[in-house]
Amino acid sequence: MTNELKGVFSPVVTPFGRDLSINPGLYVDHCRWLLSQNCGLAVFGTNSEANSLSVSERKALLETLVENGLPPSRMMPGTGCCSLTESVDLTSHAVQLGAAGVLMLPPFYYKGISDEGLFRHYSEVIQRVGAERLRVYLYHIPPVAQVPITLGLIERLLRSYPGTVVGIKDSSGDWSNTKAMLDAFPGFGVFAGSETFLLKVMRNGGVGCISATANINPARIHELYLNWQSPRAETLQTELDLVRAAHVKYPMISALKATIEVFSGESTWSNLRPPLTELGKPDARALALELRNLRFEMPGLSITRDRT
């Protein structure tokens, strides 16, 4: 097996205006900044509020990125939906625009689904897209989806679609599960779902991480990715964990947007689409204070004002 995408990727947060419409200018700005920090774009992930976006909104945003010159070779759009036809539509669109891979949630509405049912879903998407250059990264996030991707399902997909199903993001939060994937499938592109596990993943043959806090700390996470074999690796991991710990005290998407608002100077970054709500002012102040005490910075982030 060969994996094509490696390193640090961010499930890019989506900026909304006061009317809750997407702000494409801020979106492009943030994606450009992430790329400048050696971070790939896992757009339309969990922390992107992807399931608050319509299919047409996702397609338009991806087109906006490509039209603005951002390289699709550094993109891994989320294309997994509950609807088979929507998953096919989004996946085909991403492939047509040249995305290097797609990150696919299992269909998550129905619970207690068998491996057979999940295999049929992924198989239908792959066959209907019908593109030789399609690269699928599975998305295992049972704390949210409650529909797990088992080792048995991975094995069957790899046997049926070698060269197409090439990796997975493990957001189980369970190191023993991630380790089992790494041990069972050498060469399979296993990404940690958090930089908390990045050092362990790299030491055991993984390829990187796709992490919420890569939205705000991409350069330092990339530093550990590059230097996981160095004597400083443990120290780097500890420093990353402190920044993440500051954010996980709060609802993650709200906390990320509050941090970006502080460091970009753009107040609309705190907007979220209902039912999600912004971080309250006391919590936002407490988070900002903790980050200052950690000497946290977002170098190179442009200050923008209501770009549309």
Tens digits of residue pLDDT in 61-115: 999 999 999 999 999 999 999 999 999 999 999 999 999 999 999 999 999 999 9
For 293, the token pair is 């005490």
CA distances from 214 to 13, 38, 131, 172, 237 (A): 10, 10, 30, 18, 14
Q: Say which residues have a Cβ less than 8 Å from residue 151's Cβ, sequence separation at least 6.
A: 180, 181, 184
Q: Any idea where the domains of the chain sit in the sequence?
A: 7-226
Count of CB atoms situated within 10 Å of the CB of 177: 17
**Nearest CA among 276, 294, 292, 301 for reference residue 46:** 276
- Ramachandran region of residue 275, left (φ > 0), alpha (ψ -120 to 50) or beta? alpha
Q: H or E stretch including 142?
A: helix 142-145
- pLDDT higher at 304 or 268: 268
Residue 4: band (very low, low, confident or very high) from pLDDT cuts 50, 70, 90: confident
To the nearest whole percent, how much of the chain has pLDDT over 70? 97
Count of CB atoms situated within 10 Å of the CB of 80: 25
**pLDDT exceeds cutoff 50 at 307:** no
pLDDT at 304: 45
Whether omega for the bond prior to residue 162 falls within 30 degrees of 0, making it cis, is no
Least confident of 2-6, 41-45, 135-139, 267-271: 2-6
Pseudo-torsion of CA 126, 132, 137, 142, nearest 10°? Answer: 0
**pLDDT exceeds cutoff 90 at 1:** no
How much is the pTM? Answer: 0.95
**pLDDT exceeds cutoff 70 at 3:** no
Tens digits of residue pLDDT in 200-255: 999 999 999 999 999 999 999 999 999 999 999 999 999 999 999 999 999 999 99
Tens digits of residue pLDDT in 25-55: 999 999 999 999 999 999 999 999 999 999 9
Q: Say which residues have a Cβ less than 8 Å from residue 235's Cβ, sequence separation at least 6.
A: none
CA-angle at 50, arms to 48 and 55, nearest 5°: 140
Q: How far apart are CA 168 and CA 217, in angstroms?
A: 22
For 87, the token pair is 């998953």
**Nearest CA among 68, 64, 58, 45 for reference residue 92:** 58
Q: What would the CATH number be for the domain defined by 7-226?
A: 3.20.20.70
Q: How far apart are CA 282 and CA 273, in angstroms?
A: 21
Question: In 40-113, where does DSSP find H-type helix?
Answer: 55-67, 84-96
pLDDT at 301: 86
CA distances from 84 to 43, 87, 107 (A): 20, 5, 8
Q: How far apart are CA 177 and CA 170, in angstroms?
A: 8
Please tell me whether residue 158 adopts helix, strand or coil conformation. helix
